[in-house]
Amino acid sequence: MPQLLNMFSSNLSLTQGAKKNMAYEPKNFDNLLGTKGLSDTLLKNHFTLYQGYVTNTNKLADALNAMQKEGKTGTPEYAEFKRRFGWEFNGMRLHEYYFGNMIKGGKPIDRNTNFYMKIVEDFGSFENWEKDFRAVGAMRGIGWVILYYDDTADRLFNTWINEHDAGHLCGASPMLVMDVFEHAYLTDYGIKKADYIEAFFKAIDWTIDPNLDSRLFG
């Protein structure tokens, strides 16, 4: 979605800028406190958990860098850190997308956008898309649901992401991200995941930057 894509664009510009090898800094999402259906206790715990991913991403990046310089790339420790990196990094970035695509009170999708029309084109109706996205979220297990856009074939997919690092569509753009780990709802809803998904839908910020809307879907 727009917020996601805005973040996506800023990440791209960061890599082109003068800041190199900078540590990741946790972003502040306190603007979400007071969101209907998601208690402050739940959100604050979730923010703390997210900050842990930022910390561990930095730790792993530094450790891998040091091991590479010390010639320790053939060690089991290097291999395990390397395997772990995608999990920590995606845990960080996916939470930023998730919190970033919510806003207190929610903002409905603009039915005049190309994005909206693309959803209708691919799923038959917006309601069909929503029903499918919710159904993916209701699947047994922990993970994420992502509405991905693959511009090589101009197709949208509701995608299940296992943990943080398995199931992503390489090169596709995340348009909407929903956390369905138990920590995202257990505090407020117990095991009633569908009720949490309802609360999430009421908090989605569907705003899309007009330039991105025309560039991706125009």
Q: Which helix (H) or strand (E) holds 66?
A: helix 40-69
Site string for Fe ion, 3-42 (x = CB under 5 A): ----------------------------------------
| For Fe ion, the closer CB: 6 or 187 | 187
Q: Which range binds Fe ion by CB under 5 A, 7-15, 109-117, 155-163, 180-188?
A: 180-188
Cα 114 to chain centroid, rounded: 22
- Closer residue to Fe ion, CB minimum distance, 90 or 113: 90
Angle between helices 126-137 and 193-203 in degrees, nearest 10: 140
Alpha carbons within 13 A on the beta-carbon side of 125: 3
Closer CB to Fe ion, 92 or 212, in the complex: 92
**96 is a contact residue toward Fe ion (CB under 5 A):** no
Q: Do residues 124 and 130 touch, judged by C-beta distance below 8 A?
A: no
Neighbours of 58 (CB within 10 A): 16
Nearest distance, CB of residue 177 and Fe ion, angstroms: 10
Query: Nearest residue to Fe ion, using CB?
Result: 179
CA distance 54 to 74: 26
Dist. CA 154–CA 67, nearest whole Å: 41
Instruction: Kindly tell me which of 123 and 201 has the beta carbon lying closer to Fe ion.
Output: 201
Contacts with 206 (C-beta within 8 Å, 6 or more apart), sequence order: 1, 2, 106, 107, 108, 109, 110
Stretch of residues binding Fe ion (CB under 5 A), selected from 53-61, 105-113, 118-126, 174-182: 174-182
Find the angle CA(150)-CA(156)-CA(157) to the nearest 5 degrees. Answer: 100
- Considering the complex, what minimum distance in angstroms separates the CB of residue 93 from Fe ion? 12
State the minimum distance, in angstroms, from the CB of residue 84 to Fe ion: 17
Residue number with CB closer to Fe ion (179 or 213): 179
Q: Which is nearer to Fe ion, 133 or 217 (CB)?
A: 133
Question: Which of 64, 90, 92, 179 lies at the binding interface for Fe ion (CB under 5 A)?
Answer: 179
Question: Which residues form the interface with Fe ion (CB under 5 A)?
Answer: 179, 181
